[in-house]
Structure 1
Amino acid sequence: MSTEHRTQGGAIASLAGGSFAEQLDERAFFDANDQRDGGMDFRAFGSAIYRSRWHVLAILGLSLIAGVAIIMITPPLFRARASVEVSQQSTKVLGTEETEPVLGGAEFDRFLQTQVNLLESRALAARVATSLRLAADDRFVVAMGDKFAEGATAERRQRMVTDLLQKNLRISLMPNSRIVEIIFTSRDPATAMRIANSYSDNYIQNNIERKFSTTTYSREFLSTQLAQAKQRLEGSERELIDYSRAAKLIDASGGADAQRDQEAGPRSLTTANLVNLNEAYIAAEARRIQAEERWRQANGAPLLALPEVLANPAVQALEERRAELQANLGQLRQRLQPDHPTVAQAAAQLGSIDRQLNALAANVKQSLLEQQRTATRQSQALAQQVAQLKESTLSEQDRSVRYNILKREVDTSRQLYDGLLQRYKEVSAEAGAAANNVIAVDTAEIPKEPVSPRVGVILVLGLIGGLAVSALFVFAREQLDDSIRDPQDLEAKLHLALMGVVPKAQDTLLDIRNTSLRSAITEAYQSVRTAIELSSPNGLPRSLLLTSSRKGEGKTTSALFIAKAFADVGRKTLLIDGDLRKPSLHSLLGVQKDMGGGLSSLLARRSAPESAILPTGFENLSFIPSGPPPPNAAQLLGGAPVADLLRGLQDAFDVIIVDGPPVLALADAVELASQVEATLFVVAAGGAHYGQAKQAARRVRGAALHLLGGVVTKHDPGLWKGEGDYYMYDYG
């Protein structure tokens, strides 16, 4: 956005009303906020870098030189790598080894991390140092970039070697794998390879020894426990036998019947007899009951209807003979008379058969009675013997309580002894089978190329560090220096609206009498004049003060050219040299500073305004010089005389432009600014103000003045490409 457009926007925004001062302050506030909210300005950043380009190049050069120096003085380091595989379970050799529980997830990760910690342990480093005799090898210490102290003891040398091993060792656990890398760094490639391989070998051997030592301890422990268990078993058996003899208890559990059924077998001879007799008594009682039942049936039934009689072979034979005789007798009676001798003989034979059957059935019935009596006697005899053995068994059971206790002790001791003996045999067999869960995967080789110094990385880091330092330098320089190098800095650093940009020009172009209306200087001040006219909806401020933070910023030249720009457009303009201490405007116009009395005489009321106003040779432009220097300029410029003078002159002129003194170290500019309608702040581009411009702007704003904005003078558009095209143009 150009200066004209910015100013027009501020003017349009203030049409809503309000005082002139409020409108100007509000426009300056929003312009400053717009500048802050605009995001990163790469063009301004590039300008800052360009202004500090030689410093940046020097910093980058020093950074690269430092990187090269580091590369030159850093000794080369070689890195050897060996790798081992760490399994969770060992390979079984005999098949009787205990199976370790399978770990998963976080437990397995902790297991692998434990193995890494073992590799990094001081104990393993000391083992490697001992196996390679590094404490007695000065070449190893030299290869590690160190040396033994004079007169160092063996203990100190061993401790130093161990520290060097731990310091230069790195263990890397590959992700999603059971492979562990052993990495050792040394200045000597052969030493790096030797140490890495020694770490691998000693770690594997140490793992085997730890397992073997565990087995040895188990064997010794089991041997001690086995001897104690054997002694306890012998003692308990001896005590059991002594008590059995004293109590006259005979253990029958080792007999043939007990061997067939050890759980149900009796434990003493008396008990065994009782069991056998009881079984015989039960069988006899069953037989008795069966015999009585058969006799009861036989006693109430016909002889020839008894099942026992019918089942008798002799009875069956007689029944068949009787049937034949009955059939023969029936045939004879049909042919012969009943008294016939043949019939009588056949009847006699049939009667004889019937008598034999009856006698035989009676004998069978009598045998059933004898069987019943015999079964009863046997049952009674067995019942008496069982009753006697019951009394003996009950007496024996009282004595068996202590026997059973001793027997259980013997059984427990025997089971413990058998288990320990079996485990001892297994551990003894496993002791000779050295199964290991760690195996070597890759052995270290002599590294061909050093891993340090890394030339490319060091140079890139040096360059990055140089860029960072350069950025900090540029940032600090820009923050500490409030120089207005870019016109946009006016809003960013001083929070002033940009009213115009005046390019840097030769002194001949600054001669207002010889300057062309088409020159860049004239065009720039015409732009400033337009911005002032559009700065308020109330029209052009009738009185305008130009001031700066210090001398030499183009304040006086700007006042002259701005007054000339107003005169060129037909406005009656009065230019007043308000710098009573070091006036210079009269020399630019070719008049004496006290001609006509000047400003100091007017304020002291020693001359009239008509005599003090001088022509300049330019149409519509008049001039009042500063006059003779007063003894107290600040007192003269303060109060009512200046206000009264300006009010009296406003009737004769359209605009009054006052060239005031610098703000810092003087109260003159503040006094003048409080009497005029508006103030314009002039800042020279590229000059180091060291906070003076900010302080001056705060003083002017703090006095409740109408600060229109600022004009940047002596701007060199060539410092950054595009600035000249952005803020101005020239005629070709």
Structure 2
Amino acid sequence: MNNATYSRSPAEQALLDDGETGGSFSNLLNMTMVRGILYRQRFMLLGIIGLALVSALVVTLLTRPIYSASATVQIEPYAAYIVEGQSLSPDIPVNQIDRFMKTQATVITSRRIAYQVVDARKLADREDFLGEMATKRPEDMNEAQWKNARREAAAAMVSSGTQVTIPIETRVITISYSSPSPALAAELANAVTDVFVQEELRRSLETNAYAQNYLKGEIIKLQARLQEAEEATNSYARINGIVAQAPVVSQGTEGQDSVAQTVTVANLASVNESYTATRAKRIAAEQRWNAIANVPATQLPEVQQNSAIQNMISDRSKAITEVSQLRQRYGETYPRLRELNAQVTSLTAQINRASTDVKNAIRDEFVIAQRQEQALEGELSNVSGKTLEEQDRRVRFNMLDREASALRTQVASLLNRYNEISAAANLKTGISTKLDAAQVPGGPVSPNLPKNLLIGLFLGGALALAVAVLREAFDDRLRTTEDVERKLGLPLLGYTPDISDRNIADEVSDPFSVLMEAYSSIRTSIDFAVPGKHRVLQITSSEPFEGKSLTAATIARKYAQLGRKTLLIDADLRKPSLFALFGQTRPKVGFVEVLLGDVSFEDALIKGTPENLDVIPVAQSKVNPVELLSSQVLIDFVEKYRQEYSLIIFDSVPVMGLADAPLLSRIADATVFIVEANRAHYGQAKTAIRRLLGAGAKIAGVVLTKYRAADAGMSYDYHYQYYAYGERPKD
């Protein structure tokens, strides 16, 4: 038994913690999974789609045929006007034409049009339109109520049976009416079209007549108001002495009033302009003075830019330099020093006076600007007062004159518009023109068999796909290699193809068969997963008939063919099957008898096995498997024969419901877990692996058996074409 420390992978630990190692419903959304779903659910999909098509056919055959007749009408939003002003409304903008066309379509299907069609064709009294309702009056209605009910029902039928089609590229709309009677469909399509064209023209004429009457009344009212306004203006001008002068009120180019300018007004504008400029000058001078008021005069930019002051500063610097040099050389008593000191003192005083003069000039500039502003401010106040007095005398007159002018303009405009409408009253052309009358249809428009079949196909396909996806969502069977690695979180050692349609004996006997090539690949993966010599390998599964015994026997053969001495033990003490794979009947002695010491090891071996391969089957025994597999006898047996064989393989019982496999996994160096594709459920496999890991098993990986590429959404060649690479040896 191997006592080396085994570190579990994060995926194995996740299984012990009852967690899924990956995968969600979103993993269905890839092309491989979609192909697999479609293939696995093909019979269900075809059944639902076929049922939907049959249902569509039955509905089509049982539906009452409907006939549709159509008439066309040309709509011109920009009507042809014979005289100017013929239109009462502005032209429709280009970007509003689509909305205008939809409005006309709504008018056609309105109740107003429907009532006029009913009255024009007397549909409320026609039995071919209303059926029994036109002739049989209900007992709870009087004649008036019955007549009104028939009219309402007929209008509702006309409105619901009318369809309007608006094309995108033209302004010709199609008015259609659908009815079980082809003649009635053509009659009502033409009736709706005629009523719509006549209604549109009638509304236009009524609008013109209403506009004429309205404008005439407004003109009379405005003329009376204009007379009163002109009389009031003349009276006010006479009382206040306002005689003919320059035009007091005139109409501007943009419709705004303007008043002739007087001397007072011009003077005010001039003073105000000067005041504004002076105020700006004062503000600038004040800001300038405030900026330098607390700055020493010698540090002012104006002083530093003054060439005369800079020359004096330069002379003073030279004198100071010479004083310093003479003091160091001759001392304080040198006569020349007194002259130079006096010169420095004089230059300093001159510099200070000049800098102060510059600063005072800036302050004086501010003071002068301030006084000018105060003087202009007084003058502005005086001129403003005079202007206001003059305006007070003219305000009332200007107001009266503007009112009279506005009324004159309104009267002239209304008179002009009235004359235009009067001239064009009888020249109105409609915006709609009937083009083609409806003809009696030759065949029904519904039910439409191809259309219904297409709808049935789409609905059936959608329902079938939904059912397929739901079935797949609740089906946790492991189907693909990706399922094994993603969900179980264990490495995949390999997979074997489904050969249910072939002879297993022929596949096993042919070393170049697809099955044997697959087991060769699995054997190689086991070598990498379980390195070293004298190893003990357990092969088990979650439930019976997943291919563990065939895998154990074939892997053992592969190792024996490589010259590695291999011992294959049938550890399934309940339903042994290993003897049958080697063409033997169930023996009388086997693995249990060897462990109990009833027979020797050599006597229990199956005869005729390949070279380097020893096989111990299981005989008929009533020993408790759990007690035997948990005893020290099994451990001693493994330790005794470990060094004699390169590899010992135990074909174990399934994990679910039995304690044999977990017990045996404790003495094995590694466990290979078998999963049958399209049969093993993720929940069962997870539980089985968790039991093995809980018992201390070291799972080397998973082998996926009976793999069907089509069920996984892939082609057979995609997985197995490389097995055919090379040439078979010739007999």
TM-score, normalised with respect to structure 1 = 0.59
The one-letter amino acid of 1:451's match is V
The one-letter amino acid of 2:152's match is R
Shift of 1:418: 9.2
Match of 1:121 in 2: 110
The one-letter amino acid of 1:615's match is L
CA distance in 1: counterparts of 2:96 and 2:447, whole angstroms: 39
Residues 387-439 of structure 1: per-residue CA shift (max 9 Å, x gap): xxxxxxxxxxxxxxxxxx99999999999999878876765565444432222
Match of 1:549 in 2: 542
CA distance in 1: counterparts of 2:182 and 2:617, whole angstroms: 89
Give yes or no for contact 1:148–1:157 (8 Å, CA) kept in 2: no
Match of 1:535 in 2: 529
The one-letter amino acid of 1:104's match is P
Task: Say if 1:517 and 1:424 are closer, same or farther in 2 by CA, change over 3 A.
Answer: closer
Give yes or no for contact 2:590–2:605 (8 Å, CA) kept in 1: no
Residues matched between the structures, number: 540
Shift of 1:86: 2.8
Match of 1:682 in 2: 674
Q: Does 1:458 pair with 2:419? A: no
Residues 231-267 of structure 1: per-residue CA shift (max 9 Å, x gap): 9999999x99xxx9xxxx9xxxxxxxxxxxxx9xxxx
CA distance in 2: counterparts of 1:38 and 1:227, whole angstroms: 83
Q: Does 1:69 pair with 2:62? A: no
Q: Does 1:133 pair with 2:122? A: yes
CA distance in 2: counterparts of 1:413 and 1:596, whole angstroms: 128
> Which secondary structure state, in structure 2, belongs to the residue aligned with residue 663 of structure 1?
coil
The one-letter amino acid of 2:592's match is G
Match of 1:102 in 2: 91
Task: Say if 1:157 and 1:423 are closer, same or farther in 2 by CA, change over 3 A.
Answer: same
CA distance in 2: counterparts of 1:90 and 1:453, whole angstroms: 41
> Which secondary structure state, in structure 2, belongs to the residue aligned with residue 679 of structure 1?
strand
Shift of 1:497: 1.2
Structure 1: 5+ residue stretches without partners? 1-17, 250-262, 264-404
CA distance in 1: counterparts of 2:417 and 2:40, whole angstroms: 88
Larger radius of gyration: 1
Task: Say if 1:728 and 1:470 are closer, same or farther in 2 by CA, change over 3 A.
Answer: farther
Give yes or no for contact 1:547–1:555 (8 Å, CA) kept in 2: yes
Give yes or no for contact 1:583–1:593 (8 Å, CA) kept in 2: no
Among residues 437, 447, 450, which one is paired with 1:443 in the alignment?
Answer: 437
Task: Say if 1:632 and 1:412 are closer, same or farther in 2 by CA, change over 3 A.
Answer: closer
> Which secondary structure state, in structure 2, belongs to the residue aligned with residue 652 of structure 1?
coil
Task: Say if 1:695 and 1:728 are closer, same or farther in 2 by CA, change over 3 A.
Answer: farther
> Which secondary structure state, in structure 2, belongs to the residue aligned with residue 553 of structure 1?
coil
Among residues 494, 501, 514, which one is paired with 1:499 in the alignment?
Answer: 494
Among residues 164, 182, 199, which one is paired with 1:189 in the alignment?
Answer: 182
Give yes or no for contact 2:495–2:707 (8 Å, CA) kept in 1: no
Match of 1:364 in 2: none
Among residues 203, 211, 222, which one is paired with 1:210 in the alignment?
Answer: 203
Give yes or no for contact 1:193–1:447 (8 Å, CA) kept in 2: yes
Match of 2:604 in 1: 614
> Which secondary structure state, in structure 2, belongs to the residue aligned with residue 574 of structure 1?
strand
Q: Does 1:650 pair with 2:636? A: no
CA distance in 2: counterparts of 1:717 and 1:416, whole angstroms: 91
Give yes or no for contact 1:553–1:684 (8 Å, CA) kept in 2: yes
Residues 508-535 of structure 1: per-residue CA shift (max 9 Å, x gap): 85599x9576777656544433332243
Q: Does 1:566 pair with 2:559? A: yes
Shift of 1:103: 3.3
The one-letter amino acid of 1:61's match is G
> Which secondary structure state, in structure 2, belongs to the residue aligned with residue 162 of structure 1?
helix
CA distance in 1: counterparts of 2:411 and 2:696, whole angstroms: 109
Match of 1:317 in 2: none
The one-letter amino acid of 1:504's match is I
Shift of 1:548: 1.4
Shift of 1:542: 0.9
CA distance in 1: counterparts of 2:571 and 2:134, whole angstroms: 79
CA distance in 2: counterparts of 1:116 and 1:506, whole angstroms: 68
> Which secondary structure state, in structure 2, belongs to the residue aligned with residue 533 of structure 1?
helix
CA distance in 1: counterparts of 2:643 and 2:701, whole angstroms: 26
Shift of 1:695: 4.6
Among residues 654, 658, 667, which one is paired with 1:666 in the alignment?
Answer: 658
Q: Does 1:162 pair with 2:155? A: yes
> Which secondary structure state, in structure 1, belongs to the residue aligned with residue 173 of structure 2?
strand
Shift of 1:485: 6.3
Match of 2:70 in 1: 81
CA distance in 1: counterparts of 2:7 and 2:400, whole angstroms: 121
Give yes or no for contact 2:72–2:173 (8 Å, CA) kept in 1: yes
Task: Say if 1:640 and 1:467 are closer, same or farther in 2 by CA, change over 3 A.
Answer: farther
Residues 64-97 of structure 1: per-residue CA shift (max 9 Å, x gap): 3223223212333333332323333444456563
Give yes or no for contact 1:91–1:436 (8 Å, CA) kept in 2: no
Task: Say if 1:23 and 1:491 are closer, same or farther in 2 by CA, change over 3 A.
Answer: closer
Residues 313-359 of structure 1: per-residue CA shift (max 9 Å, x gap): xxxxxxxxxxxxxxxxxxxxxxxxxxxxxxxxxxxxxxxxxxxxxxx
> Which secondary structure state, in structure 1, belongs to the residue aligned with residue 529 of structure 2?
coil
Task: Say if 1:24 and 1:141 are closer, same or farther in 2 by CA, change over 3 A.
Answer: same
The one-letter amino acid of 1:555's match is K
CA distance in 2: counterparts of 1:39 and 1:418, whole angstroms: 77
The one-letter amino acid of 2:186's match is M
Shift of 1:51: 5.2
> Which secondary structure state, in structure 2, belongs to the residue aligned with residue 551 of structure 1?
coil
Give yes or no for contact 2:78–2:92 (8 Å, CA) kept in 1: no
RMSD of aligned alpha carbons? 5.4
Shift of 1:124: 2.2
The one-letter amino acid of 2:209's match is T
TM-score, normalised with respect to structure 2 = 0.59
Task: Say if 1:693 and 1:228 are closer, same or farther in 2 by CA, change over 3 A.
Answer: same
> Which secondary structure state, in structure 2, belongs to the residue aligned with residue 185 of structure 1?
strand
Q: Does 1:710 pair with 2:702? A: yes
CA distance in 1: counterparts of 2:511 and 2:521, whole angstroms: 13
CA distance in 2: counterparts of 1:105 and 1:116, whole angstroms: 18
Match of 2:326 in 1: none
